Structure 1
Amino acid sequence: MASFLRHSWSFSFLMMGCILTIVGRSAGAYAPIFRPSPWAIAHATFYGDESATATMGGACGYGNLFNNGYGTDTAALSSTLFNDGYACGTCYQIKCAESPWCYRGSPFATITATNICPPNWAEDSNNGGWCNPPRTHFDMSKPAFMKIAEWKAGIVPVMYRRVPCIRSGGLRFSFQGNGYWLLVYVMNVGGGGDIANMWVKGSKTGWISMSHNWGASYQAFATLGGQPLSFKLTSYTTKETVIAYNVAPYNWNVGLTYKTNVNFH
């Protein structure tokens, strides 16, 4: 009898373990996982000086990169990579390759895309027009460039790959516009780092689709003043959707940035 009870309890715990395992796998089965891409070939230059003050602002609209969590490890992308601004916030590992200016051991820099490197059609693509399509090019901040090569090189061949963005804290929403036109810059995006679609919801409205303005900004032409606002976002890379409820209070205002505790994986 004692032996039977021991076997029964063992069987019960085994079944419970299997059930918990199945539930855990089922719950995570649909969670998108963004893995690093294969390494590819490009070139890199730098702009600005060691302070990286020249990299502040930029086409993505992140403003002060120090205050908004991006620091100095950033780069402007050639239009081939920039993808009309949908690449804003994406993260890359970059390492110098096949140049005497590369640091020994091929260390890499992990950068965030915060700007566009526009074409320079007055120069040849191989001699000054580094960001002319269809070239894949990174114009890095000088501190980021100096992590992979001697700055005197000016330009170096690199290997690069997309990697998940690791962010501390939740999404941030910077408000611009007015009570009838809401323009929102989305910052501190984890996971793929990018946004494909965005919706806003007031306490008196349903979900309103927002259109892509430029860079990391989305807009809604709607009367939303005097309502607490929530946002729904879908990642361009992973297709994951997150909802940030009650991001801004009913008395929200333009010129302010509102933080949340939700983010992409």
Structure 2
Amino acid sequence: MLFKYDRDTFYGMSTVGLSESLFERGQICGACFELRCVNDLRWCIPGTSIIVTVTNFCAPNYGFPADGGGHCNPPNKHFVLPIEAFEKIAIWKAGNMPIQYRRIKCRKEGGIRYTISGSGIFMSVLISNVAGAGDIVAVKVKGSRTGWLPMGRNWGQNWHINADLRNQPLSFEVTSSDGVTITSYNVAPKSWSYGQTFESKQFES
């Protein structure tokens, strides 16, 4: 099924950027966390929590020490939230707040989405809206004239391959970080083109 890709449609403001100590070089993109503000009765909103999906990286700033302004410097475990998400658990003007966090299974509407970009024989696929573990650790693609071809991770959940898969229906095999694999046949039709997004079946959540 063809979709127009729109990040806000998939995640809205329920996103988070992670510091280097948590980001795992982008492998954790797509994972879900539950966050709650703690240990500050003045600024925390009691009894609230939010569920967010990892989509961004908070780069370290080595111009500041980790305990003096370099919030995303190692070894800090830092979460950067949109204002709309932050205000559900704390008063915005409080700035940086202590939190409790736990990783949880992702619940998503619809199927896994594959946004195809590239040029010529270079193909890049952004995989999003993944339920269950949320983060993907291995991807294979298959055309009607090829066997299963492993794709390499570019960054986050962008996967790439150099292979001529044009004018072929595309099937995908994706494996999540908890070891579960889903194989979806003919996700994209023979007439697919770069810039399109397609949907396949989903992991259980």
Letter in 2 for 1:264: F
Secondary structure in 1 matching 2:115: strand
SS in 2 for 1:159: strand
Q: Tell me which amino acid in the other structure corresponds to 2:20.
A: S
Greater RCO (CA < 8 Å, at least 6 residues apart): 2
1:16 aligns with none
Q: Helix, strand or coil for the counterpart of 2:159?
A: strand
Asked whether the 8 Å contact 2:138–2:151 carries over to 1, the reply is yes
* Post-superposition offset of 1:64: 4.1
**Residue aligned with 1:196, SS:** strand
* Aligned twin of 1:82: 23
1:66 alignment partner in structure 2 = 8
Matched, 1:224 2:183: no
Q: Does 1:258 align with 2:202?
A: no
Structure 1 position 175, deviation (Å): 0.5
Taking structure 2 as the reference length, what is the TM-score of the superposition? Answer: 0.94
1:204 aligned residue (131, 145, 157): 145
- Secondary structure of 2:11's aligned partner: coil
Out of 110, 117, 127, the residue aligned to residue 58 of structure 2 is 117
Aligned residues: 199
Higher share of residues assigned strand? 2
Match of 1:167 among 108, 132, 142: 108
Contact 2:61 2:70 in 1 (8 A): yes
Amino acid at match of 1:103: I
Instruction: Give the AA of the match of 1:129.
Output: G
1:80 counterpart SS class: helix
Task: Tell me how large the CA RMSD over aligned residues is.
Answer: 1.1
Deviation of 1:127 (Å): 2.4
Structure 1 segment 98-247 matched on structure 2, within 5 A: 98-99=39-40, 100-105=42-47, 107-236=48-177, 238-247=178-187
State the distance in 2 between where 1:134 and 1:64 align.
Answer: 33
Q: Identify the structure with the greater helix proportion.
A: 1
Runs (5+) with no aligned partner, structure 2: none
Percent of matched pairs sharing the same residue: 43
Separation of aligned partners in 2, 1:231 and 1:134? 37
